[in-house]
Structure 1
Amino acid sequence: MSAFLPAFDPDPETRAAGRTAKLREYTYNHDYVSPLAFVGEVPSRDRFPIDFTTLVLGKIMTNVANQADADSALRRRLRVMDTPITDMVLAGSTAVRAVGAAVGAVIGAAADARRLQTIDDYNALFHVIGLPPIAKDFEFDSTFAELRLAGPNPVMIHRIDKPDDRFPVTDAHFQVALPGDALAAAGADGRLFLVDYQKLDGVETGVSPCGLPKYLYAPLALFAVNTDTRKLVPVAIQCKQRPGPENPIFTPDDGYNWRIAKTIVEIADGNYHEAITHLGRTHLTVEPFVVAAHRQFGPNHPLNVLLQPHFGGTLAINHLARLKLISPDGVIDRLLGAKISAALGLSAWGVQGHAFMDLLPPASFRRRGVDNTATLPSYSYRDDALLHWEAVREWVATYLRCFYRSDAEVAADIEVAAWLTEASAKTGGRINGIEPARTFAELVDVTALVIFTASAQHAAVNFPQYDIMSYAPAMPLAGYAPAPTSKTGATEADYMAMLPPRDQAALQMNTGFMLGTAHYTRLGHYEPGYFGEPRINELAARFAAKMDEIEATITERNRHRRPYPFMLPSGVPQSINI
Structure 2
Amino acid sequence: MTMENQGLCPGLQDCLSAVHNKITSHLHSNASNHHDLNLIKGKLVVDHSPGQSGPGKSASVQVYSCTEIDPNTRKGKLSEKAKLKYAKSQKSDGTRTTTYEVKLYVEKDFGIPGAFVIENHHNHKFFLQSATLQTPGDQVINFDCRSWVYPIKMTKTSRIFFSNTSYLPRDTPKALADLRQEELKNLRGDGTGERKEWDRIYDYDYYNDLGNPDKGGEHERPVLGGSETFPYPRRGRTGRPPSKKDPLTESRPEMINLDIYVPPDERFRPKKLSEFIGNSIQATAHFILPEAKSLLEKDSSVQSFNEIKEMFSSNRSQKVDGWLSEKLHKLVPDELYKGIAHASKGDHLMFTLPQILSNNELAWKNDEEFGRQMLAGTNPTRIRVLESFPPPASKHGEECLINASHIVNNLDGLTITQAMNQWRIYIVDDHDYLMPFLNRINTNTKGICAYASRTLLFLKGDATLKPLVIQLSLSFSLPGSSDNEIITRLLLPASEGTEGALWQLAKTHVAANDSGYHQLISHWLHTHAVVEPFIIATRRQLSVMHPIHLLLDPHFKDTMHINALSRSILINSGGILEKTLFTGKVSMELSSELYKKWRFDEQALPTDLLKRRMALEDPDNPTGAQILFQDYPYGLDALDIWSAIRTWVIDYCSIFYKDDNSVESDEELQAWWSEIRNVGHGDKRNEEWWFKMTTLTDLQEALTILIWTASALHASVNFGQYAYAGYPPNRPTHCLNFVPEEGTTEFGEFLKDPDKYYLKMLPEKFEMTLGIALVEVLSRHTSDEEYLGQRPSSEWTDNKEVLQKFETFKKTLVEIETKIRDRNINPKLKNRWGPAKIAYKLLHPDASNENRRGGITGKGIPNSISL
TM-score, normalized by length of structure 1? 0.87
Q: Could you tell me how far 1:338 is from its partner in structure 2?
A: 0.8
Check whether the contact 2:473–2:487 (CA below 8 A) recurs between aligned residues.
Answer: no
Ranked by relative contact order (alpha carbons within 8 Å, sequence separation 6 or more), the top structure is 1
Which residues of 2 match residues 40-439 of structure 1 at below 5 A? 40-41=237-238, 42-64=262-284, 66-67=286-287, 114-127=300-313, 128-135=350-357, 136=361, 137-160=363-386, 161-164=388-391, 165=393, 166-175=399-408, 177-178=410-411, 180-198=413-431, 199-203=433-437, 212-227=446-461, 229-240=462-473, 247-253=488-494, 254-340=499-585, 342-372=586-616, 376-426=629-679, 430=683, 433-439=689-695
Check whether the contact 1:267–1:475 (CA below 8 A) recurs between aligned residues.
Answer: yes
Name the larger-Rg structure.
2
What letter matches 2:844 in structure 1? L
1:500-542 per-position Cα deviation (integer Å, ceiling 9, x unaligned): 1111110011000000122422111012121222221121111
Which residue does the alignment assign to 2:797?
531
Q: Which whole-Å CA distance do the structure 2 matches of 1:426 and 1:450 have between them?
A: 17
Q: Could you tell me how far 1:493 is from its partner in structure 2?
A: 2.8
2:540 is equivalent to residue 540 of structure 1: no
Unmatched 5+ residue regions in structure 2? 1-163, 190-200, 209-222, 226-231, 239-261, 314-349, 394-398, 476-484, 617-625, 827-831, 834-838, 847-859
1:372-398 per-position Cα deviation (integer Å, ceiling 9, x unaligned): 578544211111111111000100110
Q: Could you tell me how far 1:355 is from its partner in structure 2?
A: 1.8
Which residue does the alignment assign to 1:101?
none
Question: Which residue of 221, 231, 235 maps to 1:38?
Answer: 235
Q: Which whole-Å CA distance do the structure 2 matches of 1:301 and 1:271 have between them?
A: 39
- Specify whether residues 183 and 63 from structure 1 end up closer, same or farther in structure 2 by C-alpha distance, changes over 3 A only: same
Q: Could you tell me how far 1:352 is from its partner in structure 2?
A: 3.9
Q: Could you tell me how far 1:186 is from its partner in structure 2?
A: 1.3
Which residue does the alignment assign to 1:29?
205
Which residue does the alignment assign to 1:550?
816
TM-score, normalized by length of structure 2? 0.59
Q: Which whole-Å CA distance do the structure 2 matches of 1:207 and 1:485 have between them?
A: 17
Check whether the contact 2:721–2:776 (CA below 8 A) recurs between aligned residues.
Answer: yes
Which residue does the alignment assign to 2:697?
441
Check whether the contact 1:407–1:438 (CA below 8 A) recurs between aligned residues.
Answer: yes
What letter matches 1:134 in structure 2? I
Q: Which whole-Å CA distance do the structure 1 matches of 2:436 and 2:810 have between them?
A: 46
Which residue does the alignment assign to 1:106?
none
Check whether the contact 1:310–1:451 (CA below 8 A) recurs between aligned residues.
Answer: yes
Q: Could you tell me how far 1:266 is from its partner in structure 2?
A: 0.4
Check whether the contact 1:219–1:241 (CA below 8 A) recurs between aligned residues.
Answer: no
What letter matches 1:399 in structure 2? Y
Q: Which whole-Å CA distance do the structure 1 matches of 2:404 and 2:691 have between them?
A: 48
- Specify whether residues 428 and 238 from structure 1 end up closer, same or farther in structure 2 by C-alpha distance, changes over 3 A only: closer
Q: Which whole-Å CA distance do the structure 1 matches of 2:409 and 2:353 have between them?
A: 33
Which residue does the alignment assign to 1:92?
none
More helix by share: 1
Q: Which whole-Å CA distance do the structure 1 matches of 2:271 and 2:812 have between them?
A: 27
**Range moving further from structure 2, 110-119 or 124-133:** 110-119
What letter matches 1:234 in structure 2? P
What letter matches 1:15 in structure 2? R
Q: Could you tell me how far 1:68 is from its partner in structure 2?
A: 8.4
What letter matches 1:27 in structure 2? D
Q: Which whole-Å CA distance do the structure 1 matches of 2:611 and 2:841 have between them?
A: 26
Q: Could you tell me how far 1:151 is from its partner in structure 2?
A: 1.4
- Specify whether residues 359 and 241 from structure 1 end up closer, same or farther in structure 2 by C-alpha distance, changes over 3 A only: farther
**Range moving further from structure 2, 132-141 or 197-206:** 197-206
More strand by share: 2
Check whether the contact 1:220–1:241 (CA below 8 A) recurs between aligned residues.
Answer: no
- Specify whether residues 245 and 64 from structure 1 end up closer, same or farther in structure 2 by C-alpha distance, changes over 3 A only: closer
Question: Secondary structure in 1 aligned to 2:428?
Answer: strand
1:265-296 per-position Cα deviation (integer Å, ceiling 9, x unaligned): 10000001111111000000100000010110
Instruction: State how many pairs are aligned.
Output: 537
What letter matches 2:268 in structure 1? F
Q: Which whole-Å CA distance do the structure 2 matches of 1:68 and 1:575 have between them?
A: 29
Q: Could you tell me how far 1:150 is from its partner in structure 2?
A: 1.0
Q: Which whole-Å CA distance do the structure 2 matches of 1:406 and 1:121 have between them?
A: 64
1:227-263 per-position Cα deviation (integer Å, ceiling 9, x unaligned): 3x33211111011179x99632111122111001101
2:227 is equivalent to residue 7 of structure 1: no
Question: Secondary structure in 2 aligned to 1:125?
Answer: helix
Question: Secondary structure in 2 aligned to 1:282?
Answer: helix
Q: Could you tell me how far 1:486 is from its partner in structure 2?
A: 5.0
Question: Secondary structure in 2 aligned to 1:511?
Answer: helix
1:552-571 per-position Cα deviation (integer Å, ceiling 9, x unaligned): 11122122321112111121
Q: Which whole-Å CA distance do the structure 2 matches of 1:111 and 1:568 have between them?
A: 45
**Range moving further from structure 2, 502-511 or 229-238:** 229-238
Q: Which whole-Å CA distance do the structure 1 matches of 2:534 and 2:595 have between them?
A: 13
- Specify whether residues 182 and 569 from structure 1 end up closer, same or farther in structure 2 by C-alpha distance, changes over 3 A only: same
Check whether the contact 2:474–2:487 (CA below 8 A) recurs between aligned residues.
Answer: no
2:20 is equivalent to residue 20 of structure 1: no
What letter matches 2:734 in structure 1? A
Which residue does the alignment assign to 1:576?
865
Check whether the contact 1:277–1:350 (CA below 8 A) recurs between aligned residues.
Answer: no
Q: Could you tell me how far 1:305 is from its partner in structure 2?
A: 0.6
Q: Which whole-Å CA distance do the structure 2 matches of 1:63 and 1:20 have between them?
A: 43
Q: Which whole-Å CA distance do the structure 2 matches of 1:206 and 1:193 have between them?
A: 28
What letter matches 2:489 in structure 1? P
Q: Which whole-Å CA distance do the structure 2 matches of 1:414 and 1:449 have between them?
A: 22
Q: Which whole-Å CA distance do the structure 2 matches of 1:172 and 1:73 have between them?
A: 49
Unmatched 5+ residue regions in structure 1? 75-108
Which residues of 2 match residues 489-508 of structure 1 at below 5 A? 490=750, 491-508=754-771
Q: Which whole-Å CA distance do the structure 1 matches of 2:591 and 2:264 have between them?
A: 27
Q: Which whole-Å CA distance do the structure 1 matches of 2:807 and 2:296 have between them?
A: 51
Q: Which whole-Å CA distance do the structure 2 matches of 1:496 and 1:177 have between them?
A: 30
What letter matches 1:464 in structure 2? G
1:133-172 per-position Cα deviation (integer Å, ceiling 9, x unaligned): 1133111001100011111211211112423244333444
Q: Could you tell me how far 1:349 is from its partner in structure 2?
A: 3.4
Which residue does the alignment assign to 2:22?
none
Question: Secondary structure in 1 aligned to 2:770?
Answer: helix
Q: Which whole-Å CA distance do the structure 2 matches of 1:427 and 1:387 have between them?
A: 30
- Specify whether residues 349 and 298 from structure 1 end up closer, same or farther in structure 2 by C-alpha distance, changes over 3 A only: same
Question: Secondary structure in 2 aligned to 1:425?
Answer: helix
Q: Which whole-Å CA distance do the structure 1 matches of 2:845 and 2:544 have between them?
A: 28
Q: Which whole-Å CA distance do the structure 2 matches of 1:555 and 1:208 have between them?
A: 48
**Range moving further from structure 2, 555-564 or 460-469:** 555-564
What letter matches 2:306 in structure 1? D
